Each structure stands twice: as structure tokens, then as C-alpha cells.
Amino acid sequence: MTTLIAAPVQAAPVATRGHRLFLTVLALGTALRVLVMLAYDTAQLYWYDSFTYLDTAVRMRPSGAFHPAGYSWFLWLLRPFRSVELVAGLQHAMGLGVAVMIYLLLRRRGLPAWTATLAAVPVVFDTGFLRLEHAVLSDLQVIFLLVAAMSVLLWHERVRARAAAAAGLLLALAGLTRTAAVPLIGLALLYLVVRRASWRTAAAMAVTGLLPLALYAGWYAQHHGRFALSGSDGVALWARTMTFADCARIRPPADLAPLCPNDLRLDAASEYVWDPRASLNRLGDRFARNDAARRFAVAAITAQPLDYLRAVAEDTSLAFAWTPIAHPKRVAVPDGAFPVGRWRLPEENPLIGRVRAAYDPDIRGQRTVEPFAGLLARYRWPWLLHGGPLFALLLVAGAAGLARGCRAALLPWAAAVFLLVAPVAALDFDHRYVLPAIPLACVAAALALHGLRRALPRGAKSP
């Protein structure tokens, strides 16, 4: 029978000398982020995601499409400063904060300084995280909230009601920032059940985790007539099925038949959301048919469950490729380099002018600034430690620890796996969507390997 391993919780030493290695890494990471701020004349703004977030922050009403308003609330708090560059600067600080939380949590769990520092290294130096921090996108906020929630839950060996309530609120905010994080509340509640937490503890998390979601859904219903967090879940899942759906097997009712795949053959499920030739888009406003799209998707998955699982597995496997794979093929492969050049905005769209007038009059297309951009272009995250192979090793290490009963790694490992698979199951694979899973996978692997080392017989060599 496997023995459960629970590493004793130890407070990290107060003396600065015990943290010199991590402080050195943190200083280098800070310098790197200063260089990023100097190398680009403004924050990275993406059409149309960044402007949807900013528009919601200005109007303070929930978007009827993909994005819930959690990130827009953060932008609203910064609106008086009228600067997207300030947004990027604060997000760089939050990125360093993620590394600090990882380090402190692992030291608290009794890991040595070098191991805790190593687990935080990807967040500090990976160009993928640095570029997310510099963009007006919700990803960095999701990562920050999820790592904070995991830190609160794992800080003590026994989860107390107060900690569970705080973690539930953090997870709710993560879900209101990106809906893919919502099921993690259920995962955390299941973790409390497995750890035999008291009913008061589980109830505290359930209330603080679910009540904000219900209140937001009510606010959404006031504006869009539907009790939901967004108006795109059906459209996304419909697009997921377009790569395998066979209406001869699905036999949809007459009102759903127009949603069957046409002769269009696209190389990624997400392409069907935006391509005007896709069957859903030929009917007009795609989001106005969100409910019908969901019904079709459920019917397709029910009729072809193995085809659905095969599509999800194939796209998820792209995360573990030795070299990054373009998906869809029209996008650039993330090579770890910082781009150099000038990028313009589609000024003909009135949304840009409206956001510029209401949020930041200096919003513009981004360009690089020399000599800082030249220096930054020479920086590349070491290719051997970036991307698929390392991520796979982290998940395998976490699984190995779980197999030996290291329960401390259970929650971060399960959350990392979920964050990897859920976006693919709901829509499609994207290299950007893998990044939120990496910090949690680092925490899980560090805890698991530390637990395995403690489980070795006295005198045995650690792996």
C-alpha cells in the first residue's frame, strides 16, 4: 500500500543570506523587464482583444462575446492615469510577484532555496511570460490569481476556513477574467474533500467562489438577457466540432442543419469562428446563435465521442512538440525572440478612436526603440529549457510524485493538466494558452520531487 507523503511545513528563514540566490534571479528578472519597457515605445495592443477589454473598462458593461469583465475591472482601476504603458509596467511587477509567490510557497513547504528558485526561473526569464506582461491581455492576471489561490490553499498543511474563503474569491476572480478557470473552483472543492477538510471550510470556499459568479451572471443577464458569464461558449464548442463533425451520423434537427460543416477545410478549429465562409458565419451574427451552436456541438460530441476525444488529444499533443508548431498555419511560430519593427493599428475601425479618446489619448501602434531593442533581440530563453519537452517532464515529475502518494502536489498538478486540456476541449490549442499551466506544473514538480526524496530510505541516494 502506497504511503502518503506530507512534507512538514516550515517557515522560510528570515535572514537575507538564505535567499541570496533567489534575490539575484529576481534582480536579473527586474533588469530584463526594465529593458523590455525601454525597447518598446508603448504596450502591445492586439486587435481586437485588447480594445474589447479597454472598451468594457470604459463603458463598464459586460461584453456579449468572448471576454468576461474581470480584466476590464483591473483596467478600469487604472483609467484615471490614462496610460496603457502603466498597465504594462504593473503587469511586469505582477509577473515578478508570481515568481515570489512560487518561491515563498515552496520554501514554506520545506524545499531548499535552490529548488524553490529553480521552480520560479521559467516565470522570470521565459520570453513568453515577458511578452504577456507587456500586452493588454488578460493572461497575466489569470496566472497571478491562480498562483495566489494555490499559494493560499497550500500554505498550511491543513486548510482553514479563512484560507479556503480567500482562495475561493481568488479563483472566482480568475474565472471572471477567463471562463476556462471557472471549473478550478470545483477542482479545489474536490481537493478539500480528498484532504478531509471540515464542511465549514468547503462551504466557505463554495460561497466565496460561486457567489461572485452568480452576481456577475445576473449583471450579464441585465444587459444581454441571458444568465451566463459570456456569450461565446456555444460558438467556441461548435468550432471545436467542425474538424470532425459528420451530419450523416449526427442527424441534427432541421433548425440545426444549417450549422453542419460545409466544404470548407480549415487547418484549426478556431479558424471556423472567424472565417466568413464557415456555415455559422454565413447566417449572420455568430454570437446571436450561441445557443443553437451549443446544441449542435453537444449533439456532435454525443454522436461522435471518440472523434471528439481524438481531436482534443491531437491538438493537446502540440504543447509537447520539440520545436513549436504553427497552429493555425497562418500564425507565426513562437521562437522565443523579441520582435523588432513597427506595428500599426487598423485606424479605420471606430472602436480604436473611441477607446483612445476615453482611455488613453496616446494609444498607437507599437514600435521598437534603439539601442534597447537591439539588445533585447539578442536575448533568447535557452531553447533546451523552453517549451514542450520541459513541460512534459514537469508533468511527468508531478505524476510520479502523485503515484507515490505526494498529496501536496495533487492540486497544482491537476490544475496544470486542466489548464492545458480545457482550452483545447472548449475550442482549440494555442501556445499562449499553455503558459498559465506552466507555473503550476513547476510547483507540482518541485513538491513531488521533494516528497519522493523524503520518501527514500535513509542512506539512499536521491534521484
- 37-43: average pLDDT: 96
Asked whether residue 360 is assigned to any structural domain, the reply reads yes
Contacts of residue 60, defined as CB under 8 A and 6 or more positions apart, other chains included, come to 69, 72, 76
Cα separation of 377 and 387, whole Å? Answer: 19
What does the radius of gyration of the chain's CA atoms come to, in whole angstroms? 23
Q: Quote the number of domains for the chain.
A: 2
How far separated are the first and last CA of the chain, in Å rounded? Answer: 22
Residues 384 and 291 in one domain: no
> Please, what is the average pLDDT of the chain?
90
3-state percent helix, strand, coil for the chain, nearest multiple of 5: 65, 0, 35
Q: What is the pLDDT at residue 6?
A: 44
Q: Which residue, 320, 349, 377, sits at the end of a domain?
A: 320
Asked whether residue 350 is assigned to any structural domain, the reply reads yes
Residues 85 and 219 in one domain: yes
Kindly tell me if the per-residue pLDDT of 192 is higher than 80. yes
Q: Which residue, 320, 348, 383, sits at the end of a domain?
A: 320
- 44-54: average pLDDT: 92
Q: What is the pLDDT of residues 138-164, one digit of tens each?
A: 999 999 999 999 999 999 989 999 999
Cβ 311 vs Cβ 240: under 8 Å: yes
**CA–CA distance from 138 to each of 44, 143, 323 (Å)?**
12, 9, 26
State phi, psi for 342 to the nearest 5 degrees: -135, 140
Q: Which residue, 274, 293, 320, sits at the end of a domain?
A: 320
| Residue 8: DSSP 8-state | P
Q: Please tell me whether residue 368 adopts helix, strand or coil conformation.
A: strand
Q: What is the pLDDT of residues 110-129, one digit of tens each?
A: 999 999 999 999 999 999 99
Kindly tell me if the per-residue pLDDT of 52 is higher than 50. yes
Domain that holds residue 277: 233-320
Cβ 35 vs Cβ 372: under 8 Å: yes
Confidence of residue 4 (pLDDT cuts 50, 70, 90): very low
Take residue 408 and report the three cell numbers written for it.
501536496
CA angle 85, 47, 52 (to 5 degrees): 80
Cα separation of 226 and 108, whole Å? Answer: 44
Q: What is the pLDDT at residue 65?
A: 74
Residues 301 and 341 in one domain: no
Residues 219 and 237 in one domain: no
Residues in the chain, overall count: 463
Q: What is the pLDDT at residue 388?
A: 83
- 52-69: average pLDDT: 88
Cα separation of 315 and 243, whole Å? Answer: 11
Cβ 439 vs Cβ 102: under 8 Å: yes
Residues 209 and 279 in one domain: no
Residues 387 and 280 in one domain: no
Cβ 294 vs Cβ 237: under 8 Å: yes
Q: What is the pLDDT of residues 265-295, one digit of tens each?
A: 999 999 999 999 999 999 988 888 999 999 9
Residues 156 and 75 in one domain: yes
How far is C-alpha 127 from the chain's CA centre?
A: 16
Q: Please tell me whether residue 13 adopts helix, strand or coil conformation.
A: coil
Kindly tell me if the per-residue pLDDT of 12 is higher than 50. no
Cβ 131 vs Cβ 170: under 8 Å: no
| Residue whose grid cell is 482549440 | 428
Residues 185 and 99 in one domain: yes
Asked whether residue 48 is assigned to any structural domain, the reply reads yes
**CA–CA distance from 116 to each of 18, 157, 203, 402, 437 (Å)?**
12, 18, 32, 19, 17
Kindly tell me if the per-residue pLDDT of 414 is higher than 90. yes
Residues 344 and 434 in one domain: yes
Q: What is the pLDDT at residue 450?
A: 87
| DSSP per-residue codes, 96-126 | HHHHHHHHHHHHHTT--HHHHHHHHHHHHH-
Asked whether residue 184 is assigned to any structural domain, the reply reads yes
Residues 109 and 29 in one domain: yes
| DSSP per-residue codes, 402-463 | HHTTBGGGHHHHHHHHHHHHHHHHHT---HHHHTTHHHHHHHHHHHHHHHHHHHSPTTPPP-
Cα separation of 382 and 124, whole Å? Answer: 13
Contacts of residue 416, defined as CB under 8 A and 6 or more positions apart, other chains included, come to 394, 395, 398, 437, 438, 440, 441, 444
C-alpha dihedral sign at 249, 255, 256, 258: positive
The answer to which of 61-70, 129-138, 146-155, 348-357 has the lowest mean pLDDT is: 61-70
Confidence of residue 3 (pLDDT cuts 50, 70, 90): very low
Residues 282 and 401 in one domain: no
Confidence of residue 452 (pLDDT cuts 50, 70, 90): confident
Asked whether residue 193 is assigned to any structural domain, the reply reads yes
Q: What is the pLDDT at residue 386?
A: 56
Cβ 163 vs Cβ 150: under 8 Å: no
Confidence of residue 387 (pLDDT cuts 50, 70, 90): low
Q: What is the pLDDT at residue 378?
A: 87
Asked whether residue 325 is assigned to any structural domain, the reply reads no
Residues 132 and 252 in one domain: no
